[in-house]
Amino acid sequence: MNERQRGDHPYQGREAALATKHLKERVFGEPLRKAIGLSLHVPSGLDTDLLGTFSGEVERHGTPREVVLRKARLGMNAAGMTLGLASEGSFGPDPRLLFIPADHELLAFIDDDMGIEIVEQILSRKTNYAQDAARTFEDLKEFLTRACFPSHGLIVRPNTGLQPGLLFKGITKVETLKEALERCAHASQDGLAHVETDMRAHMNPTRQQVLREVVVQLGRRLAALCPECQTPGWGLVDVVRGLPCEWCGAKTELICMEIHGCPHCEYRENVPRSDGLSVASAGDCSWCNP
């Protein structure tokens, strides 16, 4: 891996368009300045909700990767810049522990001058993601604790579906929550209001922590230059599976090697797992634990 000093980095003193309407510049700005000297510009009036909303009134079309790249280009086009940045989050059950919620964050960086696109991602169980149905404020006591209210915002709508004028976002006050509950429960066919955590970045400090983790990851990736062509973005591009079982030595489905590569040229290198693990637990072996 080849990494220059920050002052010699290709992005030192440059600016990238950040596509956001939820104050993500407060999370992304400092880590990227420290890592590579890159500054961020948020285009005014940009409506990223056109690509989808957590509350469901605008459906997201395409995979998260497709959407995050589309969002980055939306910001680049609005700002007339050749460097772009955007993030996209998805929330739901953890793929391995289905009863535990997880936050899957993707962070995309595009450089049209060098012709590269890089998408870093992180899957974290660090989230307050939750939802409930309630008739009154008293019904929500346990839920509000899990949702970290009022430091984290809430969204309220009728439980039987979206209705015009009855979608309340960014609720952080008890009185506002009570009013939204009453109106939405009254309008719902089942007499209940649907309450969910507001996962937009500016309403969710816990999500901000995960976004900081992924932007540090991206900064580290962009700071690393390709050993062959010196393009920023050298890092993980693929994996090789087959980590041997600690008991029988048979290959498992776990990763045994990482493939690092350049986003611009075809140069690749096989390297050991970054966590240093050299054998798999017998519990992950289809022979020892069928």
**CB 223 within 8 Å of CB 35:** yes
Q: Residues 207, 115: one domain?
A: yes
Mean of per-residue pLDDT scores for the chain: 95
Q: Residues 98, 48: one domain?
A: yes
Q: Residues 189, 272: one domain?
A: no
Q: Residues 98, 180: one domain?
A: no
pLDDT at 156 over 90: yes
What are the tens digits of pLDDT across the range 58-104?
Answer: 999 999 999 999 999 999 999 999 999 999 999 999 988 888 999 99
Closest CA to 273 of 248, 246, 241: 241
Q: Residues 121, 140: one domain?
A: no
Q: Residues 240, 290: one domain?
A: yes
Which domain covers residue 263, as residue numbers? 234-290
Higher model confidence: residue 290 or residue 9? 9
pLDDT tier at 2, thresholds 50, 70, 90: very low
Q: Of 175, 198, 221, which closes a domain?
A: 198
Q: Token pair for residue 243?
A: 């980590």
Q: Residues 213, 276: one domain?
A: no
Q: Residues 137, 177: one domain?
A: yes
CATH number for the domain that contains residue 208: 3.40.50.10150
CATH number for the domain that contains residue 162: 3.30.1490.20
Q: Residues 142, 161: one domain?
A: yes
Whether the model pTM is above 0.85: yes
Q: Say how many Å lie between the first and final Cα of the chain, rounded.
A: 40
pLDDT tier at 6, thresholds 50, 70, 90: very low
Concatenated DSSP letters of the chain: -EE--GGGSTTTT-EEEE--SS-THHHHHHHHHHHH--EEE--TT--GGGG--TTSSS---S-HHHHHHHHHHHHHHHHT-SEEEEEEEEEEE-SSSTTSEEEEEEEEEEETTTTEEEEEEEEES-----EEEESSGGGGHHHHHHTTTTTS-EEEEETT---TT--EEEE-SHHHHHHHHHHHHHHSTTS-EEEEE--SGGG-HHHHHHHHHHHHHHHHHHHEEPTTT--B--EEEEEEE-PBBTTT--B-SSEEEEEEE-SSS--EEEEE-TT---SB-GGG-TTT--
Q: Residues 46, 115: one domain?
A: yes
What are the tens digits of pLDDT across the range 174-232?
Answer: 999 999 999 999 999 999 999 999 999 999 999 999 999 999 999 999 999 999 999 99
Q: Residues 171, 225: one domain?
A: no
Domain count, the chain: 3
Q: Residues 177, 211: one domain?
A: no
